[in-house]
Amino acid sequence: MTGRILAGMTIHDPGRREFASDNYAGVLPEAMAAIAAANGGHQPSYGADVYTARLREVVREHFGERAEVFPVFNGTGANVLALTSVLPRWGAVVAASTAHVHVDEGGAPERMTGLKLLTVPSGDGKLTTDLVAREAWGWGDEHRAQPLAVTISQTTESGTLYTPDEIRALAGFAHERGMALHVDGSRLWNAAAALGVPFREFTTGAGVDVLSLGGTKAGLLGAEAVVVLDPDRTTGLRYLRKATMQLASKMRFASAQLLSLFEDGVGVRAAAHANAMAARLRAALETEPPPGLAFTQDTAANAVFATVPREAAERIRAQVRFHDWNAAMGEVRWMTSWDTTESDVDEFAAVVRAELARG
């Protein structure tokens, strides 16, 4: 079988698309072309190549002249590395109870670094200064892990979106208390497309100290990055990346892909398309909604959250894959990607309507 694959045989259906996750989608053509362009010949390893050097320049153009970029393999690694760099061994991080670092990373932030996550409930996945204040206390108490960072997701795990002013308020609150602000930006491109403003306006300009810059969900192949916006608030990243097993030897291929997202607006344009497909899906179902369907969150980017009866959800899922979000309340998540088409959306909406009509 291996030989046949190498000979060009495809063993999956390339025309099939699901609504489970933007991780299901393949690689952007521009990113695949970037990999091919970076191939051939020799380049210095471990980030001393010309593509990583160019990436540093581009990141500073978009995030500010003090910005530093550290390509890594995956989003969990980016989050672990970013949070470790802003905390001492006794530090704690305030996060939403739905945050990816708390729910979906197998305890990696706490296992790998020893930090403590202090979580607070949030109905829409967003933190506010009042919510952070519930855990931002106890400095100097040797019996309590010291809350020294706040982490937010942009967009959130609930598909919602922070405005620049909301981030600025959180950053001000954190900085007044000596805390750093980290952004898990696994879908930062979708946020940029939804907000319609430059990255700098809702990151560096809003007071963010360090962020995890998503690549995989934006259409890349194993390429993410930590972007340090305020180097004064981080330490040891050069060494921590290796210690946390996130230092790529052939880094030029990760850097080339990340560069492709910045080139001619490719990343924002692809994310805008994914966002538009989610909006199309919601509109298709919100107009004369079928019985049993209710939406649970705003559709700010490329995710639609809704409740449907369990039996109908299983019938729909048998035809098109998607994930439960809160099985106890029948809440599901439908996600669109850079390669979702209008016909994909219309066909899926028809399936949802048909199955809900069956009762």
pLDDT digits (tens, 9 = 90+) for 221-244: 999 999 999 999 999 999 999 999
237 and 315 co-located in one domain: no
In a domain, 114, yes or no: yes
In a domain, 3, yes or no: no
pLDDT digits (tens, 9 = 90+) for 96-125: 999 999 999 999 999 988 899 999 999 999
Q: What is the pLDDT of residue 237?
A: 95
In a domain, 142, yes or no: yes
pLDDT band at 8; cut points 50, 70, 90: confident
**Which of 215, 233, 264 is a domain's end point?**
264
3-state DSSP of the chain: CHHHHHCCCCCCCCCCCCCCCHHHCCCCHHHHHHHHHHCCCCCCCCCCCHHHHHHHHHHHHHHCCCCEEEEECCHHHHHHHHHHHHCCCCEEEEEECCCHHHHCCCCHHHHHHCCEEEEECCCCCCCCHHHHHCCCCCCCCCCCCEEEEEEEECCCCCCCCCCHHHHHHHHHHHHHCCCEEEEEECCHHHHHHHHCCCHHHHCHHHCCCEEEECCCCCCCCCCEEEEECCHHHCCCHHHHHHHCCCCCCCHHHHHHHHHHHHHHHHHHHHHHHHHHHHHHHHHHHHCCCCCCCEECCCCCCCEEEEECCHHHHHHHHCCCCCEEEEHHHCEEEEECCCCCCHHHHHHHHHHHHHHHHCC
204 and 326 co-located in one domain: no
Q: What is the pLDDT of residue 4?
A: 63
70 and 154 co-located in one domain: yes
In a domain, 123, yes or no: yes
pLDDT band at 1; cut points 50, 70, 90: very low
75 and 169 co-located in one domain: yes
pLDDT digits (tens, 9 = 90+) for 56-93: 999 999 999 999 999 999 999 999 999 999 999 999 99
pLDDT digits (tens, 9 = 90+) for 158-198: 999 999 999 999 999 999 999 999 999 999 999 999 999 99
Whether the predicted pLDDT of 2 surpasses 80: no
187 and 278 co-located in one domain: no
CATH no. for residue 325?
3.90.1150.10
Whether the predicted pLDDT of 16 surpasses 90: yes
Model's pTM, two decimal places? 0.96
56 and 181 co-located in one domain: yes
CATH no. for residue 34?
3.40.640.10
Which residue segment(s) compose the domain that 302 sits in? 17-24+266-357
